Amino acid sequence: MPKFNTLFDHTGFAVNLTSVFLSVATFMAGVLSINMPAFLKGVNYLSPLRYSLRNLAPYSLRDIVFTCTDAQTLPDGTCPITNGMEVLKLYDLDDNPALNIMALGVCTLVYRLLAYAMLKAMRRHWSDSKGGAGVGRKWTAKKEKRSST
């Protein structure tokens, strides 16, 4: 997920922005939204939540059997959904869980590398634009000011 605290000085804003992205990613992971526009499906491939859900769903639903009451049966007398495999097919989650855990690992690694590169770039930018003092310049200046008084 994005590391907004690196980009913005205000931590509260960064936390709010992160919670918005996580909320949208949760909805798009595959359970709450079955038919998404093509653009959002493409964005969903960048979400680690997608791969974690697609890894866990087959393990948790595969062997479950569902029953229904008389009021819930279809006109032909059968239940709409009778087992977990039908649920997996309905939500298009009947994938290979091992591939999804591998994709989750790759996604996590890519996000970690991007976060590291962003931190390095911001540190270089701050040290170039603020007299070479680096990221902790404001904090160090405040600390020195307090200790001198």
The closest of 96, 18, 27 to 57, measured between CA atoms, is 96
Query: Does 82 fall in a domain?
Result: no
Query: Does 75 fall in a domain?
Result: no
- Rounded Cα–Cα distance for residues 2 and 76 (Å): 50
pTM of this structure: 0.67
Quickly list H helices, the chain. Answer: 4-7, 11-28, 38-44, 48-61, 84-90, 97-129, 137-148
Is residue 143 within 8 A of residue 82, CB to CB? The reply is no
- Please report which confidence band the pLDDT of residue 6 belongs to, taking 50, 70 and 90 as the band edges: low
Query: Does 67 fall in a domain?
Result: no
- Rounded Cα–Cα distance for residues 132 and 14 (Å): 25
- Start-to-end CA distance of the chain, whole Å, equals 42
Query: Does 19 fall in a domain?
Result: yes
- Please report which confidence band the pLDDT of residue 129 belongs to, taking 50, 70 and 90 as the band edges: low
Q: How many domains does the chain divide into?
A: 1
What pLDDT score does 1 carry?
Answer: 47
For 103-114, b/e burial (b = at least 16 CB within 10 A) is bbeebeeeeeee
Query: Does 118 fall in a domain?
Result: yes
- Rounded Cα–Cα distance for residues 144 and 149 (Å): 9
Distance of CA 34 to the CA centre of its chain: 17
Query: Does 127 fall in a domain?
Result: yes
Query: Does 105 fall in a domain?
Result: yes
Query: Does 76 fall in a domain?
Result: no
- Rounded Cα–Cα distance for residues 21 and 1 (Å): 8
pLDDT digits (tens, 9 = 90+) for 43-95: 888 888 889 989 999 999 999 999 999 999 999 989 999 999 999 998 888 88
Domain that holds residue 103: 4-59+97-148
pLDDT digits (tens, 9 = 90+) for 7-30: 666 677 777 777 777 777 777 777
